[in-house]
Amino acid sequence: MHYDTIRVSHENGVATITLHRPEVKNALNTQMRAEITHAVRDASKTARVVVLTGEGSAFCSGQDLGDGVNANTADLERTLRDEYEPMLYAIHDCPVPTVAAVNGAAAGAGASLALSCDVVIASEAAIFVQAFSRIGLIPDAGGTYVLPRLVGLARAMGAALFADEITAAQAVQWGMIYEAVPEGDFEAHWRARAAHLAKGPTVAYRHIKEAMHASYDNTLEQQLGLEAKLQNHCGQTRDFKEGVLAFLEKRKPRYEGR
């Protein structure tokens, strides 16, 4: 499929989706949301890891306020339900690991987009901003769901109310993201991380995601039962057998995946 607002590349099991509207700091418009949704769903069929990153100086500046948004006529509920939710579910439901490689500012819905991925790796030049209150809105695109779970209610509330810029280093300290990497090393680092996941046990990764997501709502009893069920499935895979054999033979495993 031809895309206009994103670029998609595939290499050694890694599907990289690059937001490509640098002239507006990769702001999300209707077309971009639809293209991200399609690209993630399509990549998840064949890739072993999906990476989202941005072109230019920003990761994503959030909603494109020039994309037909009028304060007098905006139907924001329709936009969120019909355009944002399919994109977020595509990422959440992706059966392979998703990585946000945050190269620059991630603001508003752009921050929510990054935090919807399984792992966030940021350049030390990146910032995260819950910018919604600056224009009289609440955090959306999953922001009020994921942020308190990552950083706790006190920090999530402060970030949303004050709309302060949170540096990548601060985001790591808060537990908002996984890594902050020096700007000069950033691309090589996230590519190496993605390559590592692409060579890993894909079935196990899928079940890790399933178990982690379920843990928010499960009781201990339910979670232990789910762990046992998923672990049994992993134990029947060739990847498990290969992992044990490689350990015993003191070599790196060669996982088939998928």
- Domains of the chain, residue spans: 6-198, 202-249
pLDDT digits (tens, 9 = 90+) for 43-66: 999 999 999 999 999 999 999 988
Q: In the CATH scheme, what is the code of domain 202-249? A: 1.10.12
Query: pLDDT at position 248, please?
Result: 95
| pTM of the complete model | 0.93
Tell me phi and psi for residue 140, to 5 degrees. Answer: -135, -160
Q: Which positions ≥6 away from 111 have C-beta within 8 Å?
A: 62, 128, 129, 130, 131, 143
| Residue where the block lists tokens 């920003």 | 58
CB proximity list for 158: less than 8 A, separation 6 or greater: 164
The owner of tokens 């700091």 is 25
b/e burial code for range 100-113 (CB count within 10 A of at least 16 → b): bbbbbbbbbbbbbb
6-198 carries CATH number 1.10.3720.10: no
97-135 tens-digit pLDDT: 999 999 999 999 999 999 999 999 999 999 999 999 999
